[in-house]
Structure 1
Amino acid sequence: MRVRIGDVDWVSRFSELAAAAEAEGDRPSDRWRDRAARFDRMSRTAAGDGGTIEGLALVTRPEDVALDIGAGTGRHAVPLSRRCARVIALEPSPAMRQRLVSRVEEEGLRNVEVRGESWPLPERPAADVVYSAHVVYGIVEIVGFLEAMTAAARRICALLLKLRAPSDALAEVHEAVHGTRRPRRPAALEALAVLHQLGLQASLTIVEGTGRPLVFGDDEDDLRELALRVGVAPDHAGIARVRDALGRTCEREGETWKVADVGPTALVTWPGAGSAADGCAPPAR
């Protein structure tokens, strides 16, 4: 059942924003190949971004099976595996998945199953908690994605999303490099509206301690990452273009560039298809 919220068709709005952003430039077969090593380092040093892990932990029980859609290098799957019975981690990127498998093996985690499929799956694994962190910003077929999450969840579903898509923080840098404004992506509030339009009783909770500004170091590793994010080849010339754009658009503090504040992370939750009423409440903070 779909319910219109005011005069806005949020499903169409979400899909249009995601499609416009995804149409920007060519996409390699494994877009994360050049970024997996950096993501791996960040996920290990950030300990899974403690604030968001605490948010997920509030909707997860020790006996639960959790399904992580778009697990990356294990930023959330690895620490969450220590708080529940089992984690099924889906990661279609070979580069990301290789890092995730290595980390699981290094840490001797026997309750993490890594799979390489993309969501939605033809045959969905059942889980008590089904969640996806920072994935749906570019999902055009958002209805199928969310409805498959709902169908797979015995109790609760969750999305971790910024109130403002991280790529939107780079709009001024992108414009300085390319001369055009990059399309805006949908984020947490649009996802919440879509869920309500689908007739799902979703709630949004702000995760405390996650409202840090987006910063990049003035070093080759960070500038390569920034070049990839704004669609520039991460070679010497590309890094020079990015550094020039930063100088024209951003504030420098010591050896770092403060790009923008994308706001805090939101935890969006809604009942799974097999849920009981007592398991569907949003986390209290």
Structure 2
Amino acid sequence: MLDVGAGTGAASLPLAGRLGELIAVDASAGMLAELTPRAERLGVPVRTVPGRWPDMAARTPVADVAVAAHVVYNVPDLAAFLSELTGHARRRVVLELTEHHPMSWLTPLWRHFHGLPRPARPTAHDLIAVAGALGHEVRHESHAAPLPRYASLDELAESACRRLCLTPDRVGEVAGAAVALGMWPLPRERWFTVWWETA
């Protein structure tokens, strides 16, 4: 299996019993350094390729299946990313992503505190359209995320303060705004699994 944006193996290592070799690509050498002993403890041979995809495609072996979980949100050239992923998969490409950008929930707070509109796209549906335009017979399923984004309003407000570049002393203000804007509790995200065959 080829895991692009592998991190520490959250998407690939749960399949340890069904893996042959794991080829892990990630821009973070530190993440790959954590993945390697985890894979070894599970008896999974691992080859790491530090660097960004698709820049590292020429240095990356082909695998039966190529996966990329929660990494396509900020890819500057999605068509090139997907094309190289497809070219490295003998049988199937599988992507996992949220329906909307993971930070899109902050949009009302950006508007409230900074008067800034935020883009509503890209979405999972845009990715499906791009993959279809590349000639793939794309299939997908969606389901509710396994866990809520935040366990409490305070946790949400603390995270939002950091992301909105607000000082920590404004956590209470952010929490109040989130309630007033109807943002708490946040609805559960929808996750999409998108795939196509390559053979």
The 1-side partners of 2:50 and 2:14 are apart by 20
Look up the SS of the partner of 2:130 in the other structure: helix
The Cα shift of 1:71 comes to 1.2
The 1-side partners of 2:157 and 2:30 are apart by 20
**Alignment counterpart, residue 116 of structure 1, candidates 46, 50, 74:** 50
The 1-side partners of 2:31 and 2:179 are apart by 30
CA shift in 2, pair 1:100/1:187, >3 Å: farther
CA shift in 2, pair 1:214/1:258, >3 Å: farther
The answer to whether the 8 A contact 2:3-2:68 is kept is yes
The 1-side partners of 2:28 and 2:160 are apart by 20
**1:238 corresponds to which residue?**
167
CA shift in 2, pair 1:180/1:265, >3 Å: same
CA shift in 2, pair 1:219/1:261, >3 Å: closer
**Alignment counterpart, residue 193 of structure 1, candidates 129, 142, 160:** 129
TM, length-normalised to structure 1 = 0.59
**1:22 corresponds to which residue?**
none
Unaligned runs of 5+ in 1: 1-65, 252-256, 276-285
The 2-side partners of 1:71 and 1:217 are apart by 29
The Cα shift of 1:244 comes to 2.1
**1:280 corresponds to which residue?**
none
Runs of 4+ in structure 1 over 6 Å off: none
Unaligned runs of 5+ in 2: none
The answer to whether the 8 A contact 1:177-1:242 is kept is no
Root mean square deviation, CA, Å = 2.7
The answer to whether the 8 A contact 2:20-2:44 is kept is no
**Alignment counterpart, residue 176 of structure 2, candidates 235, 247, 258:** 247
The Cα shift of 1:108 comes to 5.0
Alignment size in residue pairs? 195
**1:131 corresponds to which residue?**
67
CA shift in 2, pair 1:241/1:266, >3 Å: same
**1:72 corresponds to which residue?**
7
**Alignment counterpart, residue 191 of structure 2, candidates 257, 261, 265:** 265
1:74-223 → structure 2 map (5 Å cutoff): 74-101=9-36, 103-104=38-39, 107-120=41-54, 121-206=57-142, 208-210=143-145, 212-217=147-152
The 2-side partners of 1:98 and 1:246 are apart by 38
TM, length-normalised to structure 2 = 0.82
Deviations 1:168-197 (A, max 9, x none): 112123333433122334121110011111
Instruction: Letter of the 1:215 partner, please give it.
Output: Y
CA shift in 2, pair 1:248/1:82, >3 Å: same
The 1-side partners of 2:36 and 2:190 are apart by 29
CA shift in 2, pair 1:108/1:160, >3 Å: closer
Look up the SS of the partner of 2:103 in the other structure: helix
The 1-side partners of 2:32 and 2:92 are apart by 25
Instruction: Letter of the 1:175 partner, please give it.
Output: R
Look up the SS of the partner of 1:97 in the other structure: helix
